[in-house]
A and B are shown apart, each in its own frame.
Chain A
Amino acid sequence: MVLLKLKFPFQKRVRLAQGLWLLSWVAMFSGAITFAMGVFLKTELYRRSEVMHNMDIHIVPNLLMAVGLASVGINICAGKVCHDSLDLSRFPRWKTFLPPFFCISVFFSSLLLVAMILSFALQASLEESLKIGLKNGIRFYKDTDTPGRCFQKETIDRLQIEFQCCGNTNYRDWFEVQWISNRYLDFTSKEVKDRVRSNVDGRYLLDGVPFSCCNPASPRPCIQNSLLDNSAHYNYEYQTEELNLYSRGCRQALVSYYMGLMNTIGPCVLLFFLLQMSILVSLRYLQTAMEGVLGQENMEIETEGYILEKGVKETLLETKEKMMKLFQLAQVGDASDATPGTEPEAEKPATA
């Protein structure tokens, strides 16, 4: 029972080959674009890798890059096959090459779908990774003299300015961390000593934020210190004040930025997947139609093209049997290598 049979007269075959050749060039460029999109996404993730705890999300751009490169190769081959299908003398050399080629191509195209699904599925993992990374960044903000952590201050400041955000969830995260280094605290002053004594761990905590949280759109000069003390500033009420600092948390800002990137890349990847699958299906039809022509003297006869010669179940059984045979052959080969003496012995009693 042939799967999805179609009749192909000579003209239709020629047109199919030509159209497919053109389409394979388009798909080659789309593959290059997919690769470029993967590279872009990877660089964007790398730029903020200091505030990310793990690199799980990097699998999405890695898949995109791999599939992009593979599809460039696949589509070049497809173009060559189409070019040769118009010339009967050159087509037969592709005969053994095409079945594994189809398997590999289908595998790589399905990787595209996997990448798309992963980009949605890994959102929670990205958020968790950012949560831990930002928490560490804010904790080590003051350690500008510790090697390995000395750039955290600059990283966090630049991040807050560029993404217009403050803290992990919001600005209050800064109240729970000592972000001023002890090097710049005057321990002889009473105020400092009181603050350090007032909490269990002996940390200098205050209701203030770094300057990078300041919102330039605020009509008044930035209020960074004594944020919860209304009387410390003239005409100020922290419960209603919205423009003074950035109200968004950096975790949410980064997650929406990356989700935005992936949501833009997603439809393009889907389009490319559909294009690639249609090319593979058409190529399969062309291959089977051309196989009907091989061995005949007249090239211009009408042939049939199909996707699978037998039904899906039967094809699967056949491939399984083939694989078993290959496996057995390999085993027998091993057995005969291991015991070379048994054969001549078997021959001896026969001659005796």
Chain B
Amino acid sequence: MAVLPVRFTKTKRDKLAQVLWVLNWISIVTGIILFSLGIFLKVEINKRQDLMVERNLQSVPNMLIAVGLIACAINFLGGKICYDCVDTNKFLRWKLVMLPYIICTFFFTLSVLVGALMCYSMLGQLEESLTLGLRDAMRYYKDTDTPGRCFLKRTVDLLQIQFQCCGNKGYRDWFHIQWVSNRYLDMSQREVVDRLRSNVEGKYLMDGVPFSCCNVNSPRPCIQYQITNNSAHFNYDYQTEELNLWMRGCRQALLDYYTNIMHSIGLTVLIIWLFELSVLTGVRYLQTSLENVLRQGDPECESDGWLLENSFVETARTNFNIIKHLGKFNQINTASNGDPNIDRPSTAHYGPDNVPPKPSPTSS
């Protein structure tokens, strides 16, 4: 009982082969698209390397790149096969290769699906990585003289300007860390000394933010310092003021940005997976119909194409038995002590009755 059989005439077979040849070339293009999506994602993650704590984020773009390259190779081979399938003589060349090719392509499409699902699962890891990374970056904002951290100030400033965000969750995050380096603090001034003494760890904390938090759309010049002190500025109320600084936190901004990218990439990969699966189905039908043509002997006749010769259960059982026998072939039969001739049935022919003769009496 074949799975989904379809009747194929000669013209229908030829048309199927031609259509599949074109689709395979389109699949090569989609493979290139996958490859470039992987490269794009890799570049985007590397650009913000400083703001992310190391996690296994590189695995997703690497997988996309590998899958893209393999897709190109597999579909190129598929195109060649389909091109040759129009002619029954040329098909004989590929007869033995086709079934392994189909099995390999099936597992490959599974890996494309895994790649698509990984895109969506990456977001959870990304959020954690960004939270920790941004917290550290803000902490080391002032360390522009420490090698290895001297570019963090510039990175954070450019991030806040480009993504229109301030701090980790909001601008108040800057109030809890010292972002002005001690090199630029006048320790002889009373005000500075007071501030340093006023908290446990001796940090210079103030209710001010860096200039990169300033909102470009504000109608008034930016208020960066003494943000929570209404009397320090004319006609200012920090509880109702919304346009002065960027209100969004950078973690949310970056997460939204990467979520958009990952969702688009995931959707594209899913569509490509469906396309590859349909091409694979077409190739399977082509293979089975051509094999049936060979079985029947007449190249012009109609033949059946199917996905599986027997039903799922029977095919699974047959394959399982094959694998079991493969295992048995290696086992030695230890019951006869290694002698291969014991228990072998006799092949001698003893006449029409097939009765072995009695042993002749011997003289004692």
Contacts and interface: CB of A to CB of B under 8 A. Distances in A.
A185 interface: yes
Given A179-B221, A212-B216, A216-B153, A234 B186 contact: yes
A222 B217 contact: no
Nearest to B189: A234
Interface string A194-227: 0000000000000000111010110111101000
Given A216-B154, A216-B158, A234 B219 contact: no
A343 interface: no
A256 B145 CA distance: 33
B179 A184 contact: no
Contacts of A222: 210-211
B234 A210 contact: no
Interface in B142-162: 144-145, 150, 153-154, 157-158, 161
A224 B214 CA distance: 13
Nearest to A186: B234
Interface residues of A, number: 29
Given A216-B154, A216-B158, A219-B144, A180 B221 contact: yes
Interface in B207-257: 210-212, 214, 216-217, 219-222, 224, 233-235
A276 B219 CA distance: 53
B interface, over-half SS: loop
Given A154-B217, A180-B220, A212-B216, 13 more contacts: A145-B219, A153-B219, A181-B220, A210-B222, A211-B214, A211-B224, A216-B153, A216-B161, A216-B212, A219-B144, A220-B181, A221-B180, A224-B211
B107 interface: no
Contacts, number: 68
Interface residues of B, number: 29
Contacts of A153: 219
A190 interface: no
Given A184-B221, A184-B235, A211-B222, A235 B212 contact: no
B190 interface: no
Contacts of B234: 184-186
A220 B144 contact: yes
A42 to B, nearest CB: 25
B179 A221 contact: yes
Contacts of A179: 221
Contacts of B233: 184
A48 to B, nearest CB: 16
B16 to A, nearest CB: 35
